[in-house]
Amino acid sequence: MHDDKTVQRFIELRVQEWSFDRIARELNVSKPTLIAWSRKHQHTIANLSAIERENRLNQILASSEQRMRKLGEQLQAAEVELAKRDLASLSTGRLLTHIEALRRQLRCEAGPMRFVSPVDAIPEDEYADRIQVWNP
């Protein structure tokens, strides 16, 4: 019989997407036992896996926000520098090109606008079936 500590370690390793063969070698437990544990604890493993995926997504999103913030800072610095320059100087074109490249990168980082509520979930009193033109 295996102790609770071994079963908990099995769950952790499955959440980390280890194979049954690899876990069997690591924990010195037979593969049929691992499969039985997997069935018994499938909901726990699925829930912990979902939490782990969400944590990874949040790290990626945080990284994206950090990149956007850094690009924004670079864009502001370039625009401040451009304001100091004589537009007839040779390096202004390169600076304008750099500003446009930073803007494109920011648009790419921000991605398209996404609405989170489907139309059928919008309360009736907040949804208009057609556009109404207002003429003053």
For helices 31-40 and 4-15, the axis angle rounded to 10 degrees is: 80
List, in order, residues 6 or more apart from 72 with CB less than 8 Å away: 106
pLDDT tens digit sequence for 50-105: 999 988 888 877 787 888 888 889 988 988 887 787 655 657 778 888 888 888 88
Quote the tokens at residue 118: 């489907």
The whole-number pLDDT of residue 34 equals 93
Per-residue pLDDT tens digits for 14-46: 999 999 999 999 999 999 999 999 999 999 999
Q: What pLDDT is recorded for position 118?
A: 62
